[in-house]
Amino acid sequence: MRRPDFSHRQLKLPRGVQRLGVVWLALTLALTAQAQARTLHFAADTEPSRALTIYGVLDAPQVRPLLADFHRRHPDITIDYHNLETLALHARVLQERDAPRADVIMSPAMPWQYQLANEGLSSTVDSPAAADWPSWARWRQELFGFTFEPIVMVYRRDLARHMTPPESHADLLSLLRQRPRMLDQRVVTYDPRRSGAGYTYAIEDARISARYWDLVEALGNSHSALETTTAAMLEGLSQGRYWIGYNLIGSYVQDYVAEHPELVMVVPQDYALVLQRLVMMSRDAPHPDTARRFIDYLLSASAQRLLATQTTLGAVHPSVDGAGTAADLRDRLGEAIRPVQIGPGLLATLDTLKRQTLLEQWQQAFDNRPTHADGPLADPSPLPDAATE
């Protein structure tokens, strides 16, 4: 029996199958692009080479200058950087605690970072730079705050045509109470149930402000939107879906607002929380030598000067002054600056009963829709392939 010859003929697929193939290809390309956007790879320029794997919560435009400069100084080190969301990072580190894949872990979710260190999942960095780091910006010689980032509000510039834009937490509360109908579904903030950073800000706000829960109630009454990232909030503000954003990370906002003149950033006048990204070396890090070198680099005056001049993350090093530094922000805002303290108080914020109480109060304020999601904690997403730098 003669076999059909397909070598010179094109198979004609049904139109529905063709359409499905096009959709699948587009989806594959989109997922590949997203994976590359969340990972960075710097190949070693010399042999033999050494490896360094970093888990972080820092987008590529902010972290790339640091990694590129470190790589220039240490061309024999291959760097793999994986950018995760806060709770996904925490879950992954716990999942890998007996066989760590990451050498260095850095995150703005300060209570969760402190918890990892307190549970013995960090290692001591025994170096002069670590020992000399300001005491208010470290815990022992294991956990180091290397950035200084105010938490801010953002509003659309055209908001001024309808109402006086908020300059403080008190202003925002007054607007939500006075203009509930106009601001319905027009305000956005973090969801503390799905974002470690968002929970940190919520617990600190509740500690500082006697009127915090009045503000949360007003946010709930106005059906405010809840997001898990500053990027998502900024996108919604730029598109006009939201008019006011509350508790965004200032380092991301500053870059974004510079390219989106329709938005205005405000450091609240009554008080401004300041977060620090905490970095630590993993216990049993696969490559402890390169991990120490990278953390020493982050704490160096040269890296801190780069943070101040080429990023919006804010420098901590006491010898680095001028714009983009902790010293400059303190000089301008004085007592309004409220850095989140690195210490046992962070662990207290993760007390099960305390956390449950705070999140239940949020749920009551937003009781017309669910805000709880177990995804990042229960099933951390797989690490995507790295994009080569």
Q: CA–CA distance from 236 to each of 27, 149, 185, 240 (Å)?
A: 23, 22, 11, 6
Cβ 136 vs Cβ 314: under 8 Å: no
Cβ 225 vs Cβ 187: under 8 Å: yes
Q: Is the same domain home to 142 and 180?
A: no
Q: What is the pLDDT of residue 266?
A: 92
The segments of the chain whose pLDDT lies below 50 read: 1-13, 16-37, 369-389
Pairing of strands 187-190, 225-227: parallel
How far, in Å, CA of 239 to CA of 256, rounded? 13
Q: Is the same domain home to 51 and 160?
A: no
Q: What is the pLDDT of residue 52?
A: 94
Q: Is the same domain home to 181 and 75?
A: no
Q: Is the same domain home to 24 and 112?
A: yes
How far, in Å, CA of 253 to CA of 37, rounded? 19
Residue reference for tokens 């890296």: 303
How far, in Å, CA of 29 to CA of 257, rounded? 29
Q: Is the same domain home to 252 and 293?
A: no
Q: What is the pLDDT of residue 36?
A: 37
How far, in Å, CA of 207 to CA of 360, rounded? 17
Q: How many domains does the chain have?
A: 2
How far, in Å, CA of 296 to CA of 222, rounded? 47
Q: What is the pLDDT of residue 336?
A: 76
Domain boundary among 274, 295, 322: 274
How far, in Å, CA of 232 to CA of 190, rounded? 10
Q: Which domain holds residue 87?
A: 6-148+276-331
Per-residue pLDDT reduced to its tens digit, 68-84: 999 999 999 999 999 99
Q: Which of 287, 245, 291, 300 is nearest to 268 (CA)?
A: 245
Per-residue pLDDT reduced to its tens digit, 149-194: 889 999 999 999 899 999 999 999 999 999 988 999 999 999 888 8
pTM for this prediction: 0.71
* φ, ψ at 187 (rounded to 5°): -115, 145
The three-class DSSP label of residue 51 is strand
Cβ 283 vs Cβ 121: under 8 Å: yes
- CATH number of the domain at 219, please: 3.40.190.10
Asked if the bond preceding 48 is cis, omega within 30° of 0, the reply is yes
Per-residue pLDDT reduced to its tens digit, 84-109: 988 889 999 999 998 889 999 999 88
Q: What is the pLDDT of residue 120?
A: 92
Give me the percent of the chain exceeding a pLDDT of 70. Answer: 85
Q: Which residues contact 35 (CB under 8 A, 6 or more apart)?
A: 384, 385, 387
Q: Is the same domain home to 96 and 168?
A: no
The first and second tokens of residue 42, run together, are 């710097």
Q: Is the same domain home to 94 and 230?
A: no
* φ, ψ at 46 (rounded to 5°): -130, 165
Q: What is the pLDDT of residue 368?
A: 52
In a domain, 246, yes or no: yes
DSSP 386: P
Q: Write the burial class of residue 236 (CB in 10 Å: 0-12 exposed, 13-18 middle, 19+ buried).
A: middle
Q: What is the pLDDT of residue 15?
A: 54
